[in-house]
Amino acid sequence: MTALPRPLVWLLWANPRRRARKLLQFARVEADGGRDLVRAAELTGDPHLRRCFFAHARDEARHAEMFRIRGIELWKTIEGPESPSPATDRIAPGEHGLDDLRVEDEDDRTLLAFIHLSESAAARDFSAYRKVLGHDPRTRAVFDRILRDEEFHMRYSLAQLDRVSAGRRRRHLWMARARRLWKSYLRLATGIANVMAAIILTAQYFILLPPFALLAKRAARREHPGWSAR
């Protein structure tokens, strides 16, 4: 199950406009993940992993296209503005790609541990989303198809981690979990800091500015109109 309660998941996917926006957002993230995997394939010295990463990258590119096509289809059925506004909410995450990981800084084991956790989270979230999409069978079919791939990615990355980590799989997974947690905390802290900054600036505008405006008005009233010789 996703971390979000089912009624909230339902609410997030009930509105067709929000649904279209989320699908287009997912398309961008899947495409980013695919590019990272191509880079990972170029960097690894393990020929078997290289083939796996290239195949995985192709899957992610296909997912991006499927989400994009369905998102645009859905968007065309909505009356209102011509083009979709950028989706910024992260309340219902899709696949996280490699979570802003710098592929160049990772070795095969840390990368595989990250991929496994990311794919597991995506499979869990997509499974929760498809359950609330009974009213939109076409979008649900997209999730059905992609979910099968994400489950495969989850399994192959764990099998490969087993192969290359020489019995230290648990350690790598725990380290990857801790890093994902830290990144989530940083994202949350940045979000909270942005909200706080907006509140403080708004409060400053309404509390500090009026006295100065009043003083300026009073000073203006004391001034004689026109030019005066001193």
The residues that touch Fe ion, with contacts defined as CB under 5 A, are: 30, 60, 63, 95, 119, 150, 153
Please report how close the Cβ of residue 71 comes to Fe ion at its closest, in angstroms.
Answer: 14
Of residues 11 and 152, the one with the C-beta less far from Fe ion: 152
What is the DSSP code string of 77-109?
A: TS-S-SSPPPP---SS----TTTT--GGG--HH
Please report how close the Cβ of residue 55 comes to Fe ion at its closest, in angstroms.
Answer: 11
Q: How far apart are CA 74 and CA 63, in angstroms?
A: 16
Please report how close the Cβ of residue 58 comes to Fe ion at its closest, in angstroms.
Answer: 11
Instruction: Give the nearest residue (CB) to Fe ion.
Output: 63
> Hey, what are 142's tokens?
């997209």
Of residues 60 and 125, the one with the C-beta less far from Fe ion: 60
Q: DSSP code of 105? A: G
57: Cβ–Cβ under 8 A, 6 or more apart, which residues?
34, 35, 37, 38, 41
Of residues 155 and 168, the one with the C-beta less far from Fe ion: 155
Please report how close the Cβ of residue 154 comes to Fe ion at its closest, in angstroms.
Answer: 8
Of residues 20 and 122, the one with the C-beta less far from Fe ion: 122
Residues 66 and 103 sit within 8 Å (Cβ to Cβ): no
179: Cβ–Cβ under 8 A, 6 or more apart, which residues?
114
